[in-house]
Structure 1
């Protein structure tokens, strides 16, 4: 080889060395540099992903007070609803309270008949059919007391007629009405099937003790 190289003119030898050096550089580039460039590209991509995540986290962090405020507002609204809408376990006490108000208003309860529960999205309607006997004044006093209750109570279907009796009685009117209370539904139990019928839907309200 040396003999062959020695036979070449100096510029030929120089050109050969340049070609060999370029080949070595190219081999090194493809073996190491290309792999390094791929690693650098992956690192840059990971860095951009992390920077995007950090920027997103900073945005969420700035909105954290807003989220906390909304949660506090929702909790306050739920607490307010609990004040005016009894939960299912409190319905019996509420119905007994209505009966007490009727008695305190000097009304005689001739009928107290629970009606089927109407299921809504967030609450249920528990209607009670009442048949009352008394005077116009006593009936008005009863309706007024019910309207002043902290719970939401709706009185509908009022039908008043003259009291029909052959016996002496202080009552002058017979009244029939439907008293409806609105019950806050409990959250579904964990693992409950979506769309499953809530407990109590279509049932009748508990009958308050007379």
Structure 2
């Protein structure tokens, strides 16, 4: 028999119990460290992965449940964009739009004294196209002209309205009106790129 084992067997019972307890504790610690802990860590990782996957599934389920509503919202935004595109002309349509404005004024009974397009003001994806206008005629004709412009399918803002030379002629209030008519147009892709390349002031 191994001398070490014989030595242990000759020890008092109390010391044998202590040695047995220590050996058992070391064995248990080794089992926990080398077998249980790796499995526990693996279990925790799998649990976290499962939670993440379940969250993704819940999110995709929620989106798929809302898909018809989202499709309706997309279609609505698409229609609104198409409508906006009809309200903002491109550069080729600007001359005909300006001609329409003068035609509306003449049809309303106004005489154009000034119709002077000003330089465009370029914004992010569109340009403002301002025109100085001065007309003369009756107050009623001016009101009809402004109403007709507001009913155009294109956006035209009338600002800086100033009345001058107001007088009564044959029981009609006659006046001269100076104003700024501003319409807008979309920039094409080349114009947007060129604008980005231009040095910032």
TM-score band, normalised by shorter chain: 0.5 to 0.7
Contact 2:139 2:175 in 1 (8 A): no
Q: Which residue does the alignment assign to 2:184?
A: 183
Instruction: Tell me how far 1:131 sits from its aligned partner.
Output: 3.7
Measured against aligned partners, the alpha-carbon deviations of 1:6-61 in whole angstroms (never above 9, x if no partner) come to x77xx9xxx89998677656534432232222212211121112112222222233
Structure 1, unmatched stretches of 5+, are 163-172, 198-210
The 2-side partners of 1:76 and 1:61 are apart by 23
Closer, same or farther: CA 25–120 of 1 in aligned 2, 3 Å:
closer
Instruction: Tell me how far 1:132 sits from its aligned partner.
Output: 4.1
Name the structure with the higher strand share.
2
Does 1:53 find its partner at 2:43?
A: no
For normalisation by structure 1, the TM-score amounts to: 0.57
Contact 1:88 1:183 in 2 (8 A): no
The alignment's C-alpha RMSD in Å is: 4.6
Number of equivalences:
182
Counterpart of 1:98 (choices 78, 84, 101) is: 101
Give SS of 2:129's match.
strand
Q: How does 1:198-209 map to 2 (within 5 A)?
A: none
Counterpart of 1:114 (choices 106, 114, 117) is: 117
Measured against aligned partners, the alpha-carbon deviations of 1:106-148 in whole angstroms (never above 9, x if no partner) come to 7654432123556778865433223446x64995597165454
Name the structure with the higher helix share.
2
Q: Which residue does the alignment assign to 2:74?
A: 71
Structure 2, unmatched stretches of 5+, are 168-173
The 1-side partners of 2:25 and 2:143 are apart by 108
Instruction: Tell me how far 1:95 sits from its aligned partner.
Output: 0.9
Contact 1:85 1:151 in 2 (8 A): yes
Closer, same or farther: CA 160–145 of 1 in aligned 2, 3 Å:
farther
